[in-house]
A and B are shown apart, each in its own frame.
Chain A
Amino acid sequence: MSDQLVTVLDWAAILCLLAGSLLSFVAAVGLMRFPDLLSRMHTAAKPQILGMLLVLVGIGLRILPVEETGVFDFGTLILVGLFQVVTVPVAGHIAARVGYRTGRIRRDLVVTDELAERLDSKHRANEGPEPDPAQG
């Protein structure tokens, strides 16, 4: 590969890495600034995903001209990205669900809440005509 092309690739890689780390920084700031659990979930899981993908692309561009990369190559990068994208939502969902169900959210920050309506109606249906004393 010509030297010029390698330089161009290097610069593209640098841009990707910088953008990726910037997004991760935004995520960290959001984690500090947002007031409640659900909003924090967003920053903890999200800019991080795009940030990480950008960092992976950057690494990929960096190792493109390298002939011998050891056990580490594009396959590894693709796998890292794939499994991050597939598994992060699962963890995020569980945290959000538990947080919501145990009431660790700030009601004043939620404008419309269609899940609360559902849970309320379900709760009432469960109680039936005669309220269970054990529940109260």
Chain B
Amino acid sequence: MNDLKTRKKAGVNALRRRLGKVQIPVALGMTLVWMMLFKGFQLRPEALGTAAVGFLVSVGIMMLFPLPPISPGFRFWPLQCVRLFFYVLGKMVVSSFQVTVQVFRPGPPVKSSVVAVRLRTDADLMLVCTAITVTVIPGSVIIEVAQPEKILYVHVLGAEDEEEAEKAKENIHMLEERIVRALGTRENIADLEAALAAGKGSA
């Protein structure tokens, strides 16, 4: 009898630990995805039920597959996010045209370079965001990430000399700056601005 009681207690404790792993913001994000999947954004009584079930499902997922929290997380700067969105969209259109030209250009095959870009913010999340965005923009693919040094190695299509490689580097730095300003925490932005000021001082 006593054995059963202690085991029950251990079970409750384990459950409580698992519940502690649930991160409410992430659960809310997953609920949003759930609502999108099941047309939850219409004014009808079922929408409330969809939201509730979605929330329960996301809490369940996070209890089954607990993940460490993302530190230091991110902040959402609406105005800068809109700017980032249009910047990336514009870049995508322009570089799509460039890649199209390179595809149809007759003559010898197009050359490219591999450039190393050192990022100026320390957060992993910013590194990931920058890497994904660089890859989404046509003409550049990440082939290697050096983690502790936070260097991205990028393959740039059509960068046939040093000058163009430098230009590609500048573009990626610009992109990083926009991403940090749109999604970074205050510390990230402070880091970035310090690096920018130092860069200007030395140049």
Contacts and interface: CB of A to CB of B under 8 A. Distances in A.
A115 B117 CA distance: 10
Contacts, number: 137
Question: Is the contact region of chain B dominated by helix, strand, or loop, or is it mixed?
Answer: mixed
A93 B131 contact: yes
| Interface size grouping (class) on chain B | 35 or more
Contacts of B93: 50
A115 B143 contact: yes
Question: Is the contact region of chain A dominated by helix, strand, or loop, or is it mixed?
Answer: helix
Contacts of A88: 135-136
Contacts of A93: 131, 135, 141-143
B99 interface: yes
Interface stretch (A5-13, A25-33, A58-66): A25-33
Interface residues of A, number: 44
A134 interface: no
Contacts of A90: 132
Q: Among A85, A90, A93, which residue has the most Cβ atoms of chain B within 10 A? A: A93
Nearest to B102: A30
A60 to B, nearest CB: 13
Interface string A29-43: 110011110110111
A41 B110 contact: no
Contact of A110 (B99, B113, B116): B113
Given A26-B103, A46-B99, A39 B135 contact: no
Given A34-B103, A42-B141, A89-B142, 9 more contacts: A46-B96, A78-B36, A89-B131, A93-B142, A97-B144, A109-B110, A110-B114, A111-B162, A115-B114
Interface of A: 23, 26, 29-30, 33-36, 38-39, 41-43, 45-47, 49-50, 71, 73, 75-76, 78-79, 85-86, 88-90, 92-93, 96-97, 99-100, 109-116, 118
